[in-house]
């Protein structure tokens, strides 16, 4: 009798857990569903309020967005992709390289360097934005993509995650064995360490790509030319258009186009996110 009661309790708890997970999933997916619905509706229909049914203006809104001469949408997508992909590549490689030096080498100021990097990680972008913009103006790099890509070389958050992952999964004995076999430091890092770091690199590449793709604050201060603007700037520009020319259908369509690459990345690489976060957060 007691065994049957325990089985019933376990089934009830399992069903309750699934119910909560389903509700959380629906809550998370509802904004995306609402976005897609509004992307298929006309401006006048959106002004009437909420609707759970799809409209018939999807292709009209898409055509209006792509044909908008004041908004080079396709060019903005290309710019955002190049900046986000380059930032992800630089951030993951050089952060892993920095974490490798902190983890492997017995430096005298290792603890001090690590503390300084953590302090930098706590400083928000708004604090140094004005000084950064003035510095870029002095270097003649205003209205350029370079200030949006090169700072990714120094990514304290990515470095901290890489270091935590190395401390859990990179034995120093393997490095010493490779040195005894005559391998150079860069060969050890590129051919031995990077393959081990694949889950962590994939996770941080995704997060860095998404963060750079959605970045609006710094690019809005740097970029002036229309052909060099990123997608978040174009979305803000469309939302701040003249009232008589304002079209919510185009706004939702442009936001929908902006999230497609992010959704694709998360769908195909979600397993790396779960695996990398789980391994990187737990030390043996």
Give me the mean pLDDT over the 189-199 stretch: 88
pLDDT-derived band at 280 (thresholds 50, 70, 90) equals: very low
Can you give the pLDDT at residue 241? 60
Do both 112 and 41 map to the same domain? no
Domain that holds residue 44: 2-60
Regarding whether 33 and 90 lie in a shared domain, the answer is: no
Mean pLDDT within 136-164: 91
Same domain, 33 and 109: no
74 and 44 both lie in a single domain:
no
Band (pLDDT 50/70/90 cuts) for residue 146 is very high
| Euclidean distance between CA atoms 259 and 207, whole angstroms | 14
User: What pLDDT does 275 receive?
Assistant: 62
Whether residues 129 and 155 share a domain: the answer is yes
**Exposed e or buried b per residue across 203-241, where buried means at least 16 C-beta atoms within 10 angstroms of its C-beta:** bbbbbbbbbbbebeebbeebbeeeebbbbbbbbebbeee
Query: Do 85 and 164 sit in the same domain of this protein?
Result: yes
- CATH number for the domain spanning 127: value is 1.10.3720.10
Residues 208-215, mean pLDDT to the nearest whole number: 91
Top-confidence range, 81-95, 237-251, 266-280: 81-95
Check pLDDT > 80 for residue 73: yes
Mean pLDDT within 144-152: 92
pLDDT at 276: 55
Average pLDDT of the chain? 85
129 and 193 fall within a common domain = yes
Q: Are residues 42 and 78 in the same domain?
A: no
Q: What percent of the chain has pLDDT over 90?
A: 27
pLDDT tens per residue, range 111-127: 888 888 888 888 887 78
**Secondary structure element (H or E) that encloses residue 116, with its range:** helix 110-121
Q: Which tokens in the block code for residue 77?
A: 């997508």
Is 194's pLDDT higher than 70? yes
Is the domain of 69 the same as that of 144? yes
Considering the entire predicted model, what is its pTM?
0.83
Residue 284 has pLDDT above 60, yes or no: no
Asked whether the predicted pLDDT for residue 139 surpasses 50, the reply is yes
Q: Are residues 53 and 67 in the same domain?
A: no
Percentages of the chain per state (helix, strand, coil), in multiples of 5: 80, 0, 20
Domain boundary among 60, 85, 110: 60
Q: Residue 274's pLDDT band (boundaries 50, 70, 90)? A: low
Predicted local distance difference test score (pLDDT) of residue 281: 45
Number of other CB atoms surrounding residue 261 within 10 Å: 18
User: What separation, in Å, do the N-terminal and C-terminal C-alpha atoms of the chain show?
Assistant: 41
Give the mean pLDDT of 91-113.
88
- CA gap 265, 202 in Å, rounded: 11
Residue 26's pLDDT is 92
**pLDDT at residue 147 above 90?**
yes
- Residue 95, pLDDT > 90, answer yes
Q: Which of 10, 30, 60 is the last residue of a domain?
A: 60
Reply yes or no on whether the pLDDT at 24 is more than 50. yes
Structural domain ending residue among the three candidates 12, 34, 60? 60
Does residue 166 sit in the same domain as residue 27?
A: no
Token reading at 112: 């001090």
pLDDT tens string 153-172: 988 999 999 998 888 888 88
Q: How far is CA 40 from the centre of its chain?
A: 27
Say whether both 121 and 237 belong to one domain: yes
If one counts the domains in the chain, the total is 2
Distance CA 81, CA 85 (A): 6
């Amino acid at each position: 009798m007691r065994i049957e009661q325990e089985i019933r309790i376990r089934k009830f708890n399992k069903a309750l857990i699934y119910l909560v997970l389903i509700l959380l999933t629906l809550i998370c997916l509802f904004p995306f569903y609402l976005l897609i619905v509004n992307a298929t509706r006309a401006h006048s229909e959106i002004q009437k309020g909420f609707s759970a049914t799809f409209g018939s203006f999807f292709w009209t809104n898409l055509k209006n967005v792509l044909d908008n001469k004041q908004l080079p949408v396709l060019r903005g997508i290309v710019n955002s992709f190049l900046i986000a992909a380059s930032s992800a590549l630089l951030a993951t490689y050089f952060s892993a390289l920095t974490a490798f030096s902190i983890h492997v080498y017995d430096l005298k100021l290792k603890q001090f360097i690590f503390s300084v990097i953590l302090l930098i990680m706590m400083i928000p972008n708004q604090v140094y934005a004005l000084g950064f913009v003035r510095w870029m103006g002095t270097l003649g790099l205003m209205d350029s993509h370079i200030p949006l890509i090169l700072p990714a070389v120094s990514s304290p958050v990515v470095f901290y995650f890489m270091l935590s992952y190395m401390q859990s999964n990179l034995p120093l004995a393997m490095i010493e064995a490779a040195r005894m076999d005559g391998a150079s430091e860069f060969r050890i890092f590129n051919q031995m360490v990077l393959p081990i770091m694949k889950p962590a690199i994939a996770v941080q590449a995704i997060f860095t790509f998404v963060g750079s793709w959605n970045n609006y604050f710094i690019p809005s201060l740097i970029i002036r030319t229309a052909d060099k603007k990123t997608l978040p700037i174009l979305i803000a520009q469309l939302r701040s258009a003249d009232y008589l020319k304002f079209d919510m259908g185009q706004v939702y369509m442009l936001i929908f186009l902006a999230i497609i690459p992010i959704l694709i990345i998360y769908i195909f690489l979600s397993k790396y996110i779960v695996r990398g976060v789980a391994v990187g957060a737990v030390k043996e």
